[in-house]
Structure 1
Amino acid sequence: MPEAENPGQTPSLARSWQIQRRVIFALLMREVITRYGRHNIGFLWLFVEPMIFTIGVTLLWSALRNLHGADLPIAAFALTGYSSVLVWRNMPNRLVGAIHPNLSLMYHRNVKVIDIFAARVLLECIGVGTSFFVLTLFFASIGWLNLPEDPAKVVIGWIMLAWFGISLAMFIGALSNRSELIDKFWHPITYLMFPLSGAGWLVDAAPATLRNFILYVPMVHGVEWVRDGFFGSHFEAHYDPAYLITWNVALMLFALIEIRYASRNLVPE
Structure 2
Amino acid sequence: MNIMTNGSLLHSLKIQQRVIYALLMREILTRYGRNNIGFLWLIFEPLFFVSVFVVLAITYRFDNITAVPVVAFAVTGYGSLILWRNMADRSKSAISSNAALMHHKNVKVNDILFARLLLEMLGVSAAFLVLVLTFLGIGMMPPPEDIFTLLMGWLLLAWFGFAFGLCLAVPLEKIESFNRMWGYISLVLFMLSGAGFMVDWLPKPMQDFMLWIPMVHGVEMLRNGYFGSLVITYESPDLFDRC
For the criterion TM > 0.5, the same-fold answer is yes
C-alpha distance in 2 between matches for 1:37 and 1:89: 22
5+ residue gaps, structure 2, are none
Give the structure-1-normalised TM-score: 0.83
1:92 pairs, out of 88, 99, 115, with 88
- Measure how far apart 1:39 and its partner are: 5.6
Q: How does 1:21-60 map to 2 (within 5 A)?
A: 21-38=17-34, 40-60=36-56
5+ residue gaps, structure 1, are 1-8, 248-269
Residues 120 and 74 of structure 1: CA distance in aligned 2, closer, same or farther (over 3 Å): same
Identity of aligned residues (%): 45
Contact 1:196 1:214 in 2 (8 A): yes
Residues 72 and 105 of structure 1: CA distance in aligned 2, closer, same or farther (over 3 Å): same
Instruction: Give the aligned length.
Output: 239
Task: Describe the superposition over 1:203-236 as per-residue Cα deviations: whole angstroms up to 9, x where unpaired.
Answer: 0000011110011111000000000000022210
C-alpha distance in 1 between matches for 2:108 and 2:122: 21
Q: How does 1:158-169 map to 2 (within 5 A)?
A: 158-169=154-165
Residues 54 and 177 of structure 1: CA distance in aligned 2, closer, same or farther (over 3 Å): closer
C-alpha distance in 1 between matches for 2:128 and 2:62: 28
Corresponding residue number in structure 2 for 1:185: 181
Q: How does 1:226-237 map to 2 (within 5 A)?
A: 226-237=222-233
Residues 232 and 111 of structure 1: CA distance in aligned 2, closer, same or farther (over 3 Å): same
Q: How does 1:26-175 map to 2 (within 5 A)?
A: 26-38=22-34, 40-65=36-61, 68-175=64-171
C-alpha distance in 1 between matches for 2:106 and 2:168: 23
C-alpha distance in 1 between matches for 2:189 and 2:85: 9
- Measure how far apart 1:36 and its partner are: 0.4
Contact 2:76 2:195 in 1 (8 A): yes
Give the structure-2-normalised TM-score: 0.92
Contact 1:91 1:124 in 2 (8 A): yes
Aligned-CA RMSD value: 2.1
Corresponding residue number in structure 2 for 1:16: 12
- Measure how far apart 1:103 and its partner are: 1.3
- Measure how far apart 1:61 and its partner are: 1.6
